Amino acid sequence: MPTPHNAAQVGDIAKTVLMPGDPLRAKFIAENFLENVKCYNEIRGMLGFTGEYKGVPVSVQGHGMGMPSIGIYTYELFNMYGVENIIRVGSCGAIEPGVEIMDLVFAQGACTDSNYAAQYRLPGTYAPIASFELLEKAVNIAREKNHRYFVGNVLASDLFYADHKATLDWQKMGVLAVEMEAAALYMNAARAKKRALCILTVSDEIYSGREISAHERQVGFTSMMETALELAVQIS
């Protein structure tokens, strides 16, 4: 049944969902890559669509910005709509020199400055990680397509405008890039015993100051989108 955030009925959403932060990127993916598309959600402007890619049912839905937002949408998808796989397709800022604009980053793990894990009342620090099955298949797809990519740790931060300006400190621990959602996605997947992967495209280089435009973020991440869609076919 519908939730306060999603108008879909059970069965409207595919077992595999691609999730960009920007709902207009979800619309772009649906209109340019999927066939037989149906819009199942417009609540709060967080567009959701189900269609087919190479004959395989795939959904794509925006998740908003930050861990509280992706936490709500992915919790509902995993626990209320029977979704088995969520693939975040988002942007990130490169921390590690050598990781450059438009490179792909596969988030093997997600460091975080968030308190999201406190809800689980664990006697220690939880380390959120991707599904190895999804990660391995996605990396193989990127390799076959000759995409330039990196695999490793990212920082999922609550802060976009950080007062202390310390993001580059994560360089010393080999963290590749910063984004704002992967840790919550991986925790929700672990708790629901489902699978998740965060695939990112570098939109800016924090170490150099280079960046691309908002429009390029919305429509220019073709390598990431194709990799995620091919992954959806492989795990169907």
Catalytic positions: 204
Q: Which residues contact 137 (CB under 8 A, 6 or more apart)?
A: 231, 234, 235
Three-point CA angle 226, 86, 84, nearest 5°: 120
